Amino acid sequence: MSETVVTLGTLAIGSKQSLSAALAAGGCSATGSATGCGSKEKPEDMDPATWARVKDHPCYSEEAHHYFARMHVSVAPACNIQCNYCNRKYDCSNESRPGVVSERLTPEEAARKVIAVANEVPQLSVLGIAGPGDSAYDWRKTKETFRLVTAQIPDIKLCLSSNGLALPDHLDELVEMNVDHVTITINMIDPAVGAQIYPWIFHDRKRIYGVEASRILHDRQMEALDGLVARGILVKVNSVLIPGINDAHLLEVNREVKRRGAFLHNIMPLISAPEHGTHFGLTGQRGPTAAELLAVQEACAGGANLMKHCRQCRADAVGLLGEDRGQEFTLDLVPEAPVYDPAARETYRDWVAAEREDRRAAAKAAQDATGAACAASSPKLLVAVTTQRGGRINQHFGHATEFQVFEVDATGVRFAFHRRCDNYCVDGGGADDRLERVIAALGGIDTVLVAKIGDCPREGLATAGITALDTWAQDYIEPAILALYREKMTPKQAQTA
C-alpha cells in the first residue's frame, strides 16, 4: 500500500492508518445473541472457494460488513402473497423495516442510481433487489435491472430477496445472470403455522386462501431452496420471529433449512405497531423482546449458521449496514447519465485486502498471547465497541447510534450482537435523557471501548457499572478486546503486548 494520497469517492486517503482516520471522521432496540450459533465468517472457517464468494458481501460475512456496502433499488412493486406483517402502502417487510417507503424506480432509473452510487461509494459491492413487492414475481423488472447494471459494472454482486413462491420458475435464469446470493423468507414449514401468517397467495392465476395457500407456499419455498442449492447459489433464509405463532417452530425451520443446504439463517424480530396499518399491528400482535430473540437463537445452536449482524435495512438503503445514505442518492440528486469509473472501487479493494491481512495477523498474535496468559476457565465477558467501519474502534461515544457487542473468553473473541440507541451528543453537547437510554441499551455489557468519550458520560456509565475506555482508540477491534481481557484476567506481570 503506497503512502500516496488517493481519492475514493468522498474520502481523501493517505496511508492505511490515514484511511482509518478518514473513515472515522466520516431508536433504542436490541437484537442478536451471545450464543454459540455463529455464522461462519472468516476464511479459516470455510473452504477458499466459498470464502471468495462471501468475503465482499456485507450480509453473508460479518467480517465483510466492516468494509463493504450494499444498496437496494426498489424496482419490483408487484407481490403474489399477503403477509400479516405487511401493509402494501410500504415496502416488502421481509427484507426492510415496515412503515418505510422508498422511491419507486424503473430499471433504467435504478441503473442510473447504481452507477452514481458506485462512483461515490467505493465500498459498494452488492446490489440487492428486495421489493418493494416480490423480486421473483415482478421478474421482468428485476432481470432488466440486473442486466443494465452488470453491463456497466460487471463485478458487482447481484443479490435478491423473495418470498419464494415464484422463485422455482427462474432458477436457471438466476444462474445465467450470475446471481450468486438469494434470500428466501421462510417463516414456517408447517402450513398450519403458515395459515396464521399468510391469509392468501396468488398462484396459477388463482387466489388461494388458508392452509392450502400455505401448503403451496411451503412446497414452492422448499423447491426453490433445493433448486438454488443444487445450482450452487448461496441461500440465506430470513425468518420473521412472531411470538406465539412461530417462535418455537423456528427451531424446526432452522433444522430443515440446514438439512437442505441453506448457507445462513437470519432470524429477524417482527416489528409491529398499529401505525404501520398491518394486520398484526392492528390486532395487537407484538414483536419479540431481545431476550425472546436470544432464546430462539440459543435454541438453534448446532443448526444452520445464524446471521447476527442484520440491521433490518431501509428499503432504499445505501451504504454499510447500519448506515443510511439513501437520501444522498435520490433520483433528483444523481446525474442524468453517469459513466461508471472503476478506479475508486478498485483502489478501495486493494486497501481492504492489505488491511484484512494486518487485522488478522494482529488478532492472531493477540489470541496467542491471551491463550498463553489466561486460564481456559476464565469467564466470558461482553464488550461493546463503537466503530464506524474498517474493523477499528474509531467512533466517538457521543456519535454512536449503535454498539457492536463481542463475547470474549480465553478461546477467542466473537461477534455477539448489536444494540441500537440514539446518539448521546446532540449539537455538540450531551443529553442526560439520552445517556439513560444508552445505558439501558448497554445493559449486561462489562466494558465499552470507544475512540473518545467525555468525563460526564464516562462517569454516568461508571455509576451504572459500565467501564468506558479510549485506551485502544483507532486499534483493530479483536486485538483491543483481547488486550482488555488479558488485563482483566491476569495479574499485571503476566500481561504481554
Q: Is 33 in the site for ligand CLF (CB under 6 A)?
A: no
Smallest gap from Cβ 189 to ligand SF4, in A, equals: 17
Contact 226, 164 (CB under 8 A): no
Nearer to ligand CLF, 266 or 387 (CB): 266
- Cell numbers 442484520 correspond to what residue? 310
Residue 59 to residues 37, 149, 235, 313, 449, Cα–Cα distance (Å): 16, 20, 12, 11, 24
Q: Is 419 in the site for ligand CLF (CB under 6 A)?
A: no
Q: In this structure, what are the phi and psi dihedrals at residue 405, rounded to the nearest 5 degrees?
A: -115, 130
**Span from 74-82, 409-417, 423-431, 439-447 in contact with ligand SF4 (CB under 6 A):** 74-82
177 three-class SS = coil
What is the rounded CA–CA span in Å between residue 32 and residue 117? 30
Q: Count the neighbouring beta carbons within 10 Å of the beta carbon of residue 314.
A: 19
Smallest gap from Cβ 313 to ligand CLF, in A, equals: 3
Q: Is 306 in the site for ligand CLF (CB under 6 A)?
A: no
Q: Is 93 in the site for ligand CLF (CB under 6 A)?
A: no
What residue type is assigned to position 428 of the chain?
A: G
Which of 86, 188, 222, 317 is close enough to bind ligand SF4 by CB under 6 A? 86
Q: If you count DSSP H runs as helices and E runs as strands, how many of each does the chain have, helices first?
A: 14, 20
What is the rounded CA–CA span in Å between residue 141 and residue 213? 26
Binding mask 146-165 for ligand CLF (x = CB under 6 A): -------------x-x----
Contact 206, 222 (CB under 8 A): no
Which of 235, 321, 352, 484 is close enough to bind ligand CLF by CB under 6 A? 321
Binding mask 250-289 for ligand SF4 (x = CB under 6 A): ----------------------------------------
What is the rounded CA–CA span in Å between residue 163 and residue 165? 6
Q: Is 70 in the site for ligand CLF (CB under 6 A)?
A: yes
Residue 277 burial by CB count (10 A; 0-12/13-18/19+): exposed, middle or buried?
A: middle
- Cell numbers 440507541 correspond to what residue? 421
What is the rounded CA–CA span in Å between residue 1 and residue 458? 37
**Span from 122-130, 296-304, 361-369, 479-487 in contact with ligand CLF (CB under 6 A):** 122-130
Which of 34, 165, 313, 450 is close enough to bind ligand CLF by CB under 6 A? 313
Contact 180, 158 (CB under 8 A): yes
81 binds, among ligand SF4, ligand CLF, none (CB under 5 to 8 A by kind): ligand SF4
Smallest gap from Cβ 1 to ligand SF4, in A, equals: 43
Q: Is 184 in the site for ligand SF4 (CB under 6 A)?
A: no
Q: Is 93 in the site for ligand SF4 (CB under 6 A)?
A: yes
Smallest gap from Cβ 364 to ligand CLF, in A, equals: 28
**Span from 197-205, 219-227, 307-315, 449-457 in contact with ligand CLF (CB under 6 A):** 307-315
Q: Which residues partner with 12 through β-bridges?
A: 7
Chain positions 134 to 153 lying near ligand SF4, rule: CB under 6 A, are 134
- Longest CA–CA span in the chain (Å) reads 74
Residue 190 burial by CB count (10 A; 0-12/13-18/19+): exposed, middle or buried?
A: middle
Nearer to ligand CLF, 313 or 384 (CB): 313
Which of 31, 39, 94, 285 is close enough to bind ligand SF4 by CB under 6 A? 94
Torsion, Cα of 18, 21, 23, 25 (10° steps): -140
In eight-state DSSP terms, residue 38 is: P
Comparing CA positions, the residue from 56, 115, 69, 64 lying closest to residue 319 is 69
Contact 495, 487 (CB under 8 A): yes
Q: Is 180 in the site for ligand SF4 (CB under 6 A)?
A: no
Q: In this structure, what are the phi and psi dihedrals at residue 164, rounded to the nearest 5 degrees?
A: 95, -15
Chain positions 95 to 134 lying near ligand SF4, rule: CB under 6 A, are 131, 133-134
- Cell for 39? 455464522
What is the rounded CA–CA span in Å between residue 91 and residue 84? 13
134 binds, among ligand SF4, ligand CLF, none (CB under 5 to 8 A by kind): ligand SF4
Smallest gap from Cβ 399 to ligand CLF, in A, equals: 21
Q: Count the neighbouring beta carbons within 10 Å of the beta carbon of residue 357.
A: 10
Smallest gap from Cβ 86 to ligand CLF, in A, equals: 15
Smallest gap from Cβ 45 to ligand CLF, in A, equals: 19
**Span from 33-41, 145-153, 275-283, 306-314 in contact with ligand CLF (CB under 6 A):** 306-314
What is the rounded CA–CA span in Å between residue 58 and residue 309? 9
Smallest gap from Cβ 425 to ligand CLF, in A, equals: 26
Nearer to ligand SF4, 131 or 227 (CB): 131
Q: Is 15 in the site for ligand SF4 (CB under 6 A)?
A: no
Enumerate binding residues for ligand CLF (CB under 6 A): 59, 70, 72, 95, 126, 128, 130, 159, 161, 183, 236, 266, 310-313, 321
Enumerate binding residues for ligand SF4 (CB under 6 A): 79, 81-83, 86, 92-94, 131, 133-134, 163
